[in-house]
Amino acid sequence: MSYKLVLVRHGQSEWNLKNLFTGWKDPDLTEKGIDEAKAGGRKLKEKGISFDLAFTSNLQRAQKTCQLILEELGQTDLNVIRNQALNERDYGDLAGLNKDDAREKWGDEQVRIWRRSYDVPPPGGESLKDTGARVWPYFLHKVLPEVMSGKNVLVAAHGNSLRALVMAMEGLSPDEVLKKEISTGVPTVYDLGPDTRIKKIEILD
């Protein structure tokens, strides 16, 4: 027997389009982001995948992505649990700044370290390690038990909260996880064995 968990990063947001650091700020999806979410839902439908439960963050770009996927699946009445543990990494003082402007202010190398190091947080914000420290316990105590009870579970979240989750699930090193790209609106389907180990990974792009 296998147990199914699907992870999806929200579709393109207005601030993704404007090249802004977003973090816990709450911009909406763009038209492209809406289309990406709907396309993800159609891919899941083509695979015959439906859900018993969904989890998402407290931010509307992830919530709307979840909603649009469920609309494509005809599952608009599904129970969706929202929790800030699944929120994007908090970019602190960088939130709302254009990435090019941030490079001018602090320098290319410093901004690169904040964006791509594992354990160096931006001023007032979280590192990827900090993000994992809230994502991992929530996943282990709230999400994984639902999967292992036999439910098909959808998690609609963010690039870095999902990167932290994938790191734990796939056993990636800090260097490996920093190179991990998670595309907007593209579902990743995990089939887990009874021991919670991954049996199969399928990216529906």
181 labelled catalytic: no
Q: Is 158 annotated in the active site? A: no
CA separation for the pair 181, 82 (Å, rounded): 24
- Could you count the other beta carbons within 10 Å of the beta carbon of residue 181? 7
* Ramachandran bin of 107, using left for φ above 0, alpha for ψ from -120 to 50, beta for the remaining angles: left
**Distance between CA 68 and CA 2 in Å, rounded?**
26
Measured CA to CA, the distance from residue 129 to residue 27 in angstroms comes to 24
Task: Count the Cβ atoms, other than its own, within 10 Å of residue 108.
Answer: 10
Catalytic entry in 10, 36, 72, 158: 10
Pairwise CA distance, residues 24 & 87, whole Å: 7
Catalytic residue, chosen from 36, 72, 88, 126, is: 88
CB neighbours of residue 138 within 10 Å: 17
Catalytic residues, which ones?
Answer: 10, 88
